[in-house]
């Protein structure tokens, strides 16, 4: 894979509950050499119309009766509305999802190992007859047969973790038998949050900007975050293109994501077959 040195991309987050749906688009930049990336912590809609909390509308009335001689005097209070719109605020049909601190270059541990050029002399001046490399197997792999991914022929592989099921999350792979391109994967959990890690996700890949990149990440079960249950959660990577010139000013200073509601991937797992 030969990616441009820097890529611009959008992350579109789609969440739904019942028939309602909430869509938010965020912009990101990734350095394809180091893997470092930055996602703007405000969606396009928030930048166009910043959210203003409305609070709750309240009103009160006071009636005070004071004796004045033999005649009672009654004073009426008043009302003070607090908030907007003259009515009580209601829950939104769908709560906006977290900020997607993610990159389309994330490879779920599938990135190729760095190459090692053999030393013909072995560093000792002696001629090398052969070389042996050892690898630690992290998955047991079974061929489950030919299938189709969006109408495209694919070879379906089943993966069983041999060392650490929490770290090694891959469970299925679909590979183009003609090109060996990765078409799709299923993971036992996604991202680093407890709720996201408890359900399976289907990841679709595609070719763009010179290499294989994530296209979509779709939750295959309802997702509960806090008091909200999302029947559908989907992340789409769109508008991926080579970037030129210096990074935008908005990405010069990294926001403090520890103070924001985000979803993020754990540190990239090195390829299990790397010696």
Question: In this structure, is residue 141 part of a structural domain?
Answer: no
Residue pair 15/232 in contact by the 8 Å Cβ criterion: yes
Question: In this structure, is residue 162 part of a structural domain?
Answer: no
What own/partner pairs with CB < 8 Å and gap ≥ 24 does 239-243 have? 239/8, 239/9, 239/10, 240/7, 240/8, 240/9, 240/104, 240/208, 240/209, 240/213, 241/7, 241/8, 241/9, 241/209, 242/4, 242/6, 242/7, 242/8, 242/209, 243/4, 243/6, 243/7, 243/8, 243/29
pTM, two decimals, is 0.75
Per-residue pLDDT band at 84 (split at 50, 70, 90): very low
The pLDDT of residue 155: 97
The pLDDT of residue 243: 85
Burial letters 188-213, b for 16+ CB under 10 A, else e: bbbbebebbbebbbbbbbbebbebbb
The pLDDT of residue 199: 96
Number of domains in the chain: 1
Residues 25, 43: Cα–Cα separation, whole Å? 5
Question: In this structure, is residue 228 part of a structural domain?
Answer: yes
Domain residues for the domain of 226 are 1-40+88-110+191-268
Q: What is the pLDDT of residues 206-229, one digit of tens each?
A: 988 878 999 999 999 999 988 888
Question: In this structure, is residue 138 part of a structural domain?
Answer: no
Residues 1, 211: Cα–Cα separation, whole Å? 5
Q: Looking at 31-35, 61-65, 124-128, 266-270, which range is the least confident one?
A: 61-65
Question: In this structure, is residue 251 part of a structural domain?
Answer: yes
Question: In this structure, is residue 200 part of a structural domain?
Answer: yes
More confident residue, 177 or 47: 177
Q: Is the pLDDT of residue 190 over 60?
A: yes
Q: Is the pLDDT of residue 90 over 90?
A: no
The pLDDT of residue 18: 67
Per-residue pLDDT band at 34 (split at 50, 70, 90): confident
Question: In this structure, is residue 246 part of a structural domain?
Answer: yes
Question: In this structure, is residue 153 part of a structural domain?
Answer: no
């Amino acid at each position: 894979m030969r990616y441009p040195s820097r890529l611009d991309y959008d992350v579109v987050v789609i969440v739904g509950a019942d028939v309602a749906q909430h869509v938010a688009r965020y912009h990101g930049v990734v350095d394809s050499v180091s893997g470092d990336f930055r996602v703007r912590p405000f969606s396009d809609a928030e930048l166009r119309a910043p959210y203003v909390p409305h609070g709750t509308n309240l009103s009160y009335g006071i009636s005070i009766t004071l004796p004045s001689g033999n005649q009672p005097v009654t004073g009426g209070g008043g009302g003070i509305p607090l908030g907007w719109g003259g009515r009580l605020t209601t829950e939104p049909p769908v709560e906006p999802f977290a900020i997607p601190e993610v990159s389309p270059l994330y490879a779920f541990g599938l990135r190729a190992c760095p190459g090692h050029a053999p030393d013909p002399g072995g560093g000792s001046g002696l001629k090398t007859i052969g070389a042996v490399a050892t690898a630690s197997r992290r998955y047991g792999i079974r061929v489950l047969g030919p299938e189709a991914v969006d109408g495209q022929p694919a070879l379906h592989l089943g993966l069983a973790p041999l060392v650490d099921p929490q770290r090694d999350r891959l469970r299925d792979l679909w590979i183009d038998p003609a090109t060996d391109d990765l078409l799709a994967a299923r993971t036992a959990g996604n991202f680093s949050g407890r709720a996201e890690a408890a359900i399976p996700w289907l990841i679709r890949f595609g070719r763009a900007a010179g290499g294989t990149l994530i296209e979509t990440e779709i939750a295959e079960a309802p997702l509960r975050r806090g008091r909200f249950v999302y029947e559908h959660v989907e992340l789409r990577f769109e508008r991926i293109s080579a970037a030129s010139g210096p990074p935008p000013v908005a990405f010069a200073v990294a926001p403090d994501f520890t103070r924001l509601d985000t979803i993020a991937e754990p540190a990239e797992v090195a390829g299990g077959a790397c010696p």
